[in-house]
Amino acid sequence: MSDMLCTRRQAIRAMGGIAAGFGLSSGGFLFSRQAPSAPVAVGVSRTYGPELLPTLGTMFDQLGGLEKLVRGKTVAIKLNLTGSTSDHLGNLPLELTHWVHPQVIGSTLHLLDRAGARRIRLLESPWSTAEPLEEFMRQAHWDPRDFQRAATRVEFENTNYLGNGKKYSRFMVPGGGLMFQGYDLNHSYQDCDVFISLAKLKEHATAGVTLTTKNCFGITPCTIYGEGAGKDEPSLLPRGGRGLVHDGHRLASSSAPPLVNPHCSKYPGFRVPRVSADLVSARPVHLAIIDGIQTIKGGEGPWVPGCKQVHPGLLIAGRNCVSTDAVATALMGFDPMADHGTAPFERCDSTLRLAERLGVGTRDLKRIEVLGAPISKVRFQFRSA
pLDDT, tens digit, for every residue of 259-303?
Answer: 999 999 999 999 999 999 999 999 999 999 999 999 999 999 999
CA angle in degrees (0–180, nearest 5) for 242-125-180 = 45
| Residue 17: predicted pLDDT | 33
What is d(CA 198, CA 326) in angstroms, rounded to the nearest whole number?
A: 15
Pairing of strands 22-24, 314-318: unpaired
What are the structural domain ranges in the chain? 39-378
What is d(CA 168, CA 328) in angstroms, rounded to the nearest whole number?
A: 32
pLDDT beneath 70: ranges in the chain? 1-33, 128
What is d(CA 145, CA 158) in angstroms, rounded to the nearest whole number?
A: 16
| Residue 33: predicted pLDDT | 57
What is d(CA 216, CA 210) in angstroms, rounded to the nearest whole number?
A: 10
- Laid out side by side, the sheet with 119-124 consists of 154-158, 119-124, 74-78, 194-200, 287-292, 314-318, 40-44, 370-372
What is this structure's pTM?
Answer: 0.91
| Residue 19: predicted pLDDT | 32
| Residue 214: predicted pLDDT | 98
What is d(CA 195, CA 109) in angstroms, rounded to the nearest whole number?
A: 13
Strand partners, 117: 71
